[in-house]
């Protein structure tokens, strides 16, 4: 059994932040917190750094020049390594609208990559953000490929993913939308509503059918109006519903980031990146699915000017919540770790620093720069 200790200025545990403490890692799990090392132990002194639970990105299309739709191990592995450098220990490989066959191929590839393994952040499954959307709120998706979510099509997706489809986004107002929510929920798929013009009442029906959250809150959904709460109002009003949020200050203004946090709290606000293949790269021209995307000053837009994912990283999203919204640091960290893990139902293993959980953690400095990342106690990234 491999055992070692980490010592840091701060340790962000599930219950609070400990000062100048030790963390014991044994056989890939957290064995003890705030403990005294045994004699002749392997100790790594991290100085003034903070140990935080590793981040979980529920919604990411690509990074490092590769996209999930490339449907190759090289693509998924590169994304895995690139985001591990930003403190991510697990992610859902997220598809975009494309041909039906290419979407199925991407789902099959995610399954294969999980079996083969990757070198960075763990592939937790796939997230289908594609196909079953509203034309009006298509955003950076090619509307000509939209389809109805029939049970036959859903079964094809489930078969291609072979147990690894963890989440699916749809517009509940499309033909068969509510029935699809019920069916997918029965198959243990987390259904998110997004790219939708659904009214409050339709959203309520979707939530009653089993939908658990809203896709990138306020972006490509019917907005909040004082006489028509819309999709955004429905997500914010229903306490148990999760809100994905791209906390880059562009997709959602910091004032609205604050409002979302006040209404949903840290336990129902899940920070995501919605990152596309340009993540970690310079400005320029890229592809997101079938669309050409121009990245300028780190902001990705289609040729029509619509936002097209982001180049955000989760460590930066956490920093933005702390610096721009004045969120308590532990809550900000948990919005990118424990909350996503809870949404996926894996919070008994991942998402926080607690004795018995997997030692999938990150080390950050005071500038929120990631210095090291560990998955199951194995170092998958080091800045040094």
Reported for 24-27, long-range contacts at CB under 8 A and 24+ positions apart, including other chains, are 25/359, 25/374, 25/377, 26/1, 26/2, 26/377, 27/1, 27/2, 27/3, 27/377
Give the whole-angstrom CA distance, residue 183 versus residue 204: 17
Strand arrangement of the beta sheet that strand 291-296 belongs to: 284-288, 291-296, 299-302
Rounded CA Rg of the chain:
20
Catalytic residue among 70, 248, 274, 376: 274
Give the whole-angstrom CA distance, residue 317 versus residue 270: 11
What DSSP designation does 239 have? T
Q: Which residue has the tokens 């894996």?
A: 346
Residue 296's Cβ-count burial label (10 Å; 0-12, 13-18, 19+) is exposed
Q: Are 226 and 197 in contact (CB under 8 A)?
A: no
Q: How far is CA 358 from the centre of its chain?
A: 19
What DSSP designation does 329 have? H
Active-site residue 274, yes or no?
A: yes
Q: Where in the sequence numbering do the catalytic residues fall?
A: 274
């Amino acid at each position: 059994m491999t055992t070692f200790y980490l010592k840091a200025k701060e340790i962000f545990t599930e219950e609070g932040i400990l000062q100048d403490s030790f963390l014991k890692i044994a056989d890939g799990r957290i064995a003890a917190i705030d403990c005294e090392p045994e004699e002749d132990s392997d100790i790594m002194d991290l100085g003034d750094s903070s140990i935080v639970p590793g981040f979980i990105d529920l919604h990411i299309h690509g990074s490092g020049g590769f996209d999930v739709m490339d449907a190759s191990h090289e693509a998924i592995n590169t994304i895995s390594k690139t985001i591990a450098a930003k403190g991510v220990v697990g992610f859902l490989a997220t598809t975009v609208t494309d041909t039906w066959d290419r979407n199925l191929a991407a789902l099959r590839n995610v399954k294969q990559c999980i079996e083969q393994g990757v070198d960075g952040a763990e592939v937790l499954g796939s997230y289908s953000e594609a196909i079953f959307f509203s034309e009006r709120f298509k955003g950076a998706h090619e509307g000509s490929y939209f389809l109805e979510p029939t049970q036959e099509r859903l079964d094809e997706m489930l078969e291609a993913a072979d147990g690894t489809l963890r989440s699916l986004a749809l517009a509940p107002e499309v033909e068969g939308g509510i029935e699809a929510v019920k069916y997918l929920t029965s198959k243990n798929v987390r259904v998110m509503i997004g790219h939708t013009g659904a009214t409050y009442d339709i959203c309520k029906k979707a939530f009653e059918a089993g939908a658990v959250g809203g896709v990138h809150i306020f972006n490509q959904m019917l907005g909040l109006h004082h006489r028509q709460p819309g999709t955004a109002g429905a997500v914010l009003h229903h306490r148990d519903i999760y809100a994905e949020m791209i906390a880059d200050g562009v997709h959602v203004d910091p004032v609205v980031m604050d409002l979302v946090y006040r209404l949903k709290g840290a336990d129902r606000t899940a920070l995501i990146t919605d990152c596309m293949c340009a993540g970690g790269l310079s400005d320029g021209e890229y592809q997101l699915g079938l669309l050409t995307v121009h990245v300028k000053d780190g902001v990705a837009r289609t040729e029509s000017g619509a936002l097209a994912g982001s180049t955000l990283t989760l460590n930066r999203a956490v920093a933005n919540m702390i610096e721009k919204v004045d969120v308590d640091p532990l809550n900000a960290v948990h919005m990118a770790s424990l909350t996503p893990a809870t949404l996926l139902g894996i919070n008994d293993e991942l998402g926080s620093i607690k004795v018995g959980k997997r030692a999938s953690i990150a080390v950050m400095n005071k500038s929120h720069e990631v210095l090291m990342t560990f998955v199951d106690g194995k170092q998958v990234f080091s800045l040094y």
